[in-house]
Structure 1
Amino acid sequence: MNPDWRPLETELDRWRDQGLSLPLWWRDDDAVAPTRQLGTLSDMSQRLGLPVHLAVIPRDASTELADYVAQSQTLIPVVHGWAHVNHAPKGEKKSEFRLHRSMDAIIADAQAGFSRLNTLFGDDLRPMFVPPWNRIAPETVVQLPGIGYRILSTATPRKATLAVPGLEQINTHLDPIDWRGTRRLTPTHTLIAKTANLLRDRREGHADNAEPFGVLTHHLVHDQDIWTFTEALLHKLLTGPALAWTAPRT
């Protein structure tokens, strides 16, 4: 793998020339326990100096994971739904927090996720809700601030700063995995072009540059090409105009 980074480097040069800065954050989904892959993620985060917001599945999260995170300087736990279970009927896109069951059951799971991870991680937990598969019903979103969540994170550039009053929208924008095809690394020229285009939209005022630019990974399914590309991409952004963003505690 020998990516041609020139389209992105050209865009980053324009950011530098205009004195712009890019807020950057990293989210990694589906953590439940310490694994070799989580160690690789943690090591990469430390090398880059960029914290990882670790989206933890509350139902299955282990005390060993909590102990591991407590010893880390760069892993930040956030709430990844409740059980990562699909409730959508056959033929619909997978979701855990759309209206395929009673609202009481949905809200109970969102509350249980917050409560269990708060017990496990204490003050290290950030009040961010990450719905599995990045899908959530608007009717569910309205309920999240009352539970204690302050940030909602899904995917694609946000349309507004607040999802609802009291709940900021901070999404992810680039996932290196080709989920609908090979389930390996998306062709690098596609990823580089997409990143450059997303940054151009911000620079030209077509997208909200106050929203941190989010890179989404899934450490449990990475092969070496995904690890290598992700680290190289984040390194280029950080040596360009990017400044690390982390979710506040409250």
Structure 2
Amino acid sequence: MRVDFASLRAELTLWRAQGKSFPLWWRDDDAVAPTAALDRLAVLSHETGVPVHLAIIPSEATPDLARALDDSFVPVVHGWAHANNAPEGQKKAEFGPGRPKAEIEADLKAGLARMEDLFGARLARMFVPPWNRLDNGALPLLQSLGYESVSTYLPRKSVDAVPGLEQINTHIDPIFWRGTRGLVPPEAILEQTVALLRDRREGRSDNAEPLGYLTHHLVHDADIWEFSRQFILELCEGPVTLFRQNGKDRT
């Protein structure tokens, strides 16, 4: 695959000329067990040097997965069961509006407990809601239960979703979900990326928020894998710092 990265390279040149840098991170969703695709994700992480924050579905996660992950992965909490609890006709959500608070709290608590049991101090207490949708009423619950950050999609509006709960979103998704479910045309991804970087460089958006690349290793085709490899390597040539939310020893 040949991709013309000229526009991205030109934007990164401006960053370097102005003595600026931006933080970069990578999130991948829906892991439950070791697979060949997960092995390929690990290889790509090692090749690029960028750690993967792996959003794992707690109710389905296996002990084999915990044993398989090396230090290139940062395990984070991906809902509870990745179940759609939205009323008919509404967009899919596991923790959307209208769900009883007691049910939400029970699932949030169960998800964190399951992941801590599997990963211990390796777990980063980040909550990733399935489909990137979360009722605002659940945010105080996340904070009170011990989650430290929440991650959805698009640039954040404030540093903290609620006091004590940092918002760390993703911004670039290479999958054409509403169409072929293959790779979004690379020129469209690059146009979006350059616009995001320009807004940061010119002060219209928060450059303290890590710029997030979002992947789903279980559904990648060859083009998505190859574009991701080239794209991440190109970004890493720019003036970047790599973000990693580490777990902590809480004993």
Given the two structures, how large is their TM-score scaled by the length of structure 2?
0.97
2:118 aligned partner? 120
In the alignment, which residue of structure 2 is the partner of 1:73? 71
In 2: Cα distance, 1:47 partner to 1:3 partner: 19
Q: Return the letter of the residue paired with 1:48.
A: T
| CA offsets 1:14-56 (integer angstroms, 9 cap, x no match) | 0011111110000000000000000000010011111000000
Counterparts of 2:238 and 2:146 in 1: how far apart (Å)? Answer: 35
- Whole-angstrom distance in 2 between the partners of 1:61 and 1:145: 23
Q: Which amino acid aligns with 1:215?
A: Y
Q: What does residue range 83-232 of structure 1 map to in structure 2 within 5 Å?
A: 83-232=81-230
Q: Which position in structure 1 is the counterpart of 2:236?
A: 238
Q: Is the 1:185–1:226 Cα contact (8 Å) retained in structure 2?
A: yes
> What's the offset of the Cα at 1:214?
0.3
Letter of the 1:27 counterpart: R
TM-score when scaled to structure 1? 0.98
Determine if the alignment matches structure 1 residue 41 to structure 2 residue 3: no
Q: Which residue of 1 is the match for residue 25 of structure 2?
A: 25
State the SS of the aligned residue for 2:7. helix
Unaligned runs of 5+ in 1: none
CA positional deviation for 1:226? 0.2
| Residues paired across the two proteins, number | 248
Look up the equivalent residue of 1:95 and give its one-letter code: A
Q: Deviations over 1:68-94 (max 9, x none)?
A: 11xx12011000000000011221100
Contact 1:87/1:100 (8 A) holds in 2: no
**2:13 and 2:78 mapped to 1: Cα distance?**
36
Q: Distance in 2 between matches of 1:157 and 1:96?
A: 22
Instruction: Report the aligned-residue RMSD.
Output: 0.8
Deviation at 1:100, TM superposition (A): 3.3
Counterpart Cα distance in 2 of 1:61 and 1:110: 15
**1:126–1:249 contact (8 Å) kept in structure 2:** yes
- Please state whether the residue corresponding to 1:143 is helix, strand or coil: helix
8 Å CA contact 2:63, 2:118 repeated in 1: yes
- Matched position secondary structure for 1:175: coil
Deviations 1:136-179 (A, max 9, x none): 00101111111110000000000000000000000000000000
Distance 1:225 1:90 in 2: 34
